[in-house]
Every structure is written in structure tokens, then in C-alpha cells.
Amino acid sequence: MAVFASRYERKLPIDDTQALSCEITAVQEVAGHTEYLLRVWRGASNKDYWTVLRRYNDFDRLDKSLRVSGIELPLPRKRIFGNMRPEFVAERKQALQVYINAVLMNPILASSLPAKRFVDPESYSQSFHDHAVQNAMLCLRNDSTWSLGGTMGAIGWRLRKHYFKVTTKPPEKSHNKQLVKSGSQTHQSKHFAAGSSNGSGHSIDAGTLDPGSEVVAEWLEYGPDKFVDEKEIGGIMKSLMGLQHPHIEPVLLAAHTENGCLVIRKFHKHGTLKDVLCMAANPKNPFLSKYGNPKGRTALSMKQVATYGKQILEALIFLHSKGYAYGHLHAGNIVIVDDCVKLLDIENFLLGVPAFYRPFFMQHSKIHAIETIDVYCFGHVLFEMAMGYPLQESVVRQITECPEALKCLLESILSKEACKAGLPTLEQLLGHRFFTQYASTESAGAAANAEKPYFKLSLNAKELLKQAAIKSENRLRDEQKSVKNQKRIVRVQELMSSEEEKRKSKQKAHHRLLRGRTWAPYISRCRRRQAPPWNGNLRLQTC
């Protein structure tokens, strides 16, 4: 039984948002070259660590793969002669430590596959792309509407999410639009093909799409918070395909296997809100090149910030009222169509993948409930829309150059005091005076006339989602406790180090005082005899 248990543990999903820390602990010479021993651990505690051996050439290859981001990194230059001298090796070790710290402390670089593979090759050595292609083809092999095309590359931040082009099959081959199941219902995919959009809980028909519209298929593996059984996921996904809301992008098809889920939805050529704020020329470019070091940034007007913010809140309130959590709000999951917000990736909560802002709200024990997480993430999106750049910390220190109403709203969500005391609810945010003063009323009326919101979940599905939310909150609380304990340990160590430094300083001062008292009579006698002046080397020239 122990053998099977260990195999299962190795297959448990990894939380890719957990920070990886690295320390170069030793240097060794092997076959005429220098190897550096890296001690790596995941999360706050360094008790569970592993070691990796790397050469300078490995650091150099990592640096070349990260150059597409446009971020300057302090990689020490290569040296051919004298690179085995002990003093040079010691200097090189310190310089490489500074380099790897710079990589892992940057959230954009740290989330990239090259950085993950460098410090954790065992967990990230497999071919994620090949695995995604196999599962995506499995999901669509019996589908009569959609055909899988080529890959779109790493345009998103998730390592385990892959984007593919899709096309519609000829009309004569897409006559069957009912529920399709593969032969093996235990381990193979369950398919829900698209139906007509009549408000009865079916998906949008491919024929209703605009002729020039582009469609994308997104394959995503299950995450560590996937607590809904596979045989129950199909029914909930069917409900998600029937979801209609003016501020939520509809799902054209959703199919799942034992490994993850494939979702097909419309692709917006102008990109997401993140692309707009970063002034990305081509949303199909790699994630690192788009957001690593953007050539330009732009903020939205206060009217746009208030209007889009209000629409986001309305969509979140609608989902929570139906018993479904979102939990994945960030600028990359929002598109703007005709001055109207549409949320993407509503299936992420069901799949149990970690949130984009998880490393931030994991630092605050008061932020653990699903609605509170949506409120906190909304604060970050609001800040990024108003300022034009993302908040790089878990709390905001000082807010300037914005109206007083917006400043008050942001402080109620992102200030250190708010994160300690507790955040407002979504309903309370919607009633804030900032939206009353700045939000546009025209877009609200247009959205009301567009389509009637519809989302129906069975009582069993609501209960399953509720239990999944509770388990997800419990896992988050455990990690928050670990982070809090680690911070306490660090503070104690810093205090002990400070006390030790104070003790050493007092000892040095005491020794200097005793030394001065010892030589004082001799100095006085030399002065009385008009001896040459004291030369400061603790000896008398003539006495």
C-alpha cells in the first residue's frame, strides 16, 4: 500500500503560484568545471527542500530564454581565464545568487516555464504542450462541430494552460448537436456539444457567430483545489454553457477528461484589458514579451474605471447569487467589447486552479472566503485600471493623483488596515459613491436591453460547489498559517541577530575603553616630557 500511496502523491497537482526560493549553498569542482549546489524549496517553509546542481552555462541558457521579456537581469559575465581561482569562484557564487534572486522575485519571470524548470526540473521537465494536444484531441474526437487547429503559443501566464486555434466542421458533418459521450465513460472524455441559444441552458450555436470572428480552444489541467468529482463536473459544465449575462463571455463548448478541461470560446482580436493597459500591439505574442517590460502603459479615464468596475461587480454579484464563485478576477480575464465588460474563464473555480493574486492574499489571514477573495482581486483590477500599472505589493502604501472618492474606495480594499480588519462585501462596493459620481448610465441601459441574465444550477450542484469552496478555504487558511508562522520565525531571528550585534558592539566599546585607560598614564608622561606626538599604533616612540 505504501508504494501505491507514494505514486499517488507524486501525481497530486502542484500549486504553481507558490513562490520558489533558492540558495546557492556550495561550490564544487567536477571534471575541470565548477558546479553550484542549489537548495530550493516551495512556499514559506524551507524544511522540505531539494537540491539541484547547475553550471554557469545553465545560468546563461536561462538568461537567454528570459531575454524576450525585456527585463535586464544581473547575470555576471562569462570568464575564460582564471575562472577556477578560489576568490573568483566565491565572487561568482555571490553574483549568481543575486541573479537567481532577481529572477524568482519577479512575478512575471518566476511564473515562466524556463525559470520553473531551472530550479525544479523534476516537476517541470515533462512536455506540457504534448500532453495538452493529446487531451484536447481526445475531447474533440467525437465532436461534430469543432476541429482542433494549431497551437497559439504561450500567450497566457499559466504553465498548464494551452491555447489552440479551432475551426468549424462543414455543415453536413455538424448535424448532431446533442450530448455525445465517448466509449469509456470512466476514464475518457465526456462531451457536451453546442446547442441553440434559447435561454434553456444550452450553449451558443457555432452558426450564430460572426463570419469574421475567431474562436479559441483552451486546455487547462485540474488544480490543487479541484474538489468536485469528475462524474459531477459534466453537469455543472453544461450549466456553464447555458450561462447568459451581458458581462460574462459565453462558453461555446466545454469537455473534460480525467486530466483537465477543454473550453471553446470567442477570441477577441484586440486582446484583454491587460493588453489595453500595457498597449500590447499583438495579443497573440508570448506572455513574457507582452507584460515583462511593456514599452508603454496607459490608464483609463475615471468614467471608464467606474463604468467597467460597476459592470464587474454586477457580474460577480450575479454569480454569487446563483451559488457559483468566480475567484479569478484580474486584468487578463477581462475583455472590453463596445464599452462593455465581459469576464473570462468562469470555469476556473470548478477546475480548482490557483488564482493569479493568491501569493498576495495568502499573506492576509482575513482574506480567505470566496467573496472576500473576489473583493480583494477587484481592488487590484480597479487600481490597475486607474493607475495604468499593477500594484506590486499585497497592500497599497500611498494613493495619489486620483479623485478622493476613488482613493477612499481603494483604501477600503487594499490598505493594510482594511486587510487586517476585514473587507467590504460586493454589494457594499456597488453602492459606493465613486460609481454614483463617475459611472456611465448609458452602458447600463444598453446592457439591460441586451440579454436577460440566466444561470441555472441544480441543488446538488450548488451543494457540491459549496463544499468545494469550504475545502478550498481550508487549504488557503492552512497556507496562511504557515506563512504567518514563518514570518514570526524570521522576526525572532532578526531580533536575536540584532541583540547579538548590540552585544558585540558593547564588547568592542568596552575593550576600547579599557585600552584607553591602560595607555593614559604613558601618554600623559610623554606629554610632560615634550615627547614626539602619539602615532596611533599603540606604542611609544620616546619616553
Name the residue ranges covered by the structural domains of the chain.
Answer: 12-124, 126-267
User: Which residue reads 495604468 in cell numbers?
Assistant: 388
SS3 state at 11: coil
* Distance between CA atoms of residues 438 and 441, nearest Å: 9
Closest CA to 251 of 204, 213, 200, 212: 204
Low-confidence ranges of the chain (pLDDT < 70): 1-12, 80-83, 172-211, 443-450, 491, 497-500, 510-543
Q: What is the CA radius of gyration of the chain?
A: 29
- b (16+ CB within 10 A) / e for 474-501: ebbeebbeebeeeeeeeeeeeeeeeeee
pLDDT of residue 510: 65
Cell (9 digits) for 390: 499593477
pTM equals 0.82
Rounded to whole angstroms, the Cα distance separating 390 from 277 reads 10
Cα–chain center distance at 391: 13
H/E element, 332: none
Cα torsion 392, 366, 347, 319: sign: negative
Q: What per-residue confidence (pLDDT) applies to 463?
A: 96
Which residue has cell 518566476? 110
Q: In angstroms, rounded to a whole number, what is the distance separating the alpha carbons of residues 38 and 24?
A: 5
Percent of the chain scored above 90 by pLDDT?
64
At 106 the pLDDT is 93
pLDDT of 209 = 67
Report domain 12-124's class. alpha beta
Handedness of CA 476, 478, 480, 486 (dihedral sign): negative
Contact partners, residue 57, CB within 8 Å, separation at least 6:
none
3-state secondary structure (DSSP) of residue 288: helix
d(CA 82, CA 329): 52
Count, residues in the chain: 543
Cβ(96)–Cβ(22) under 8 Å? no
Q: Are strands 20-30 and 33-42 parallel, antiparallel or unpaired?
A: antiparallel
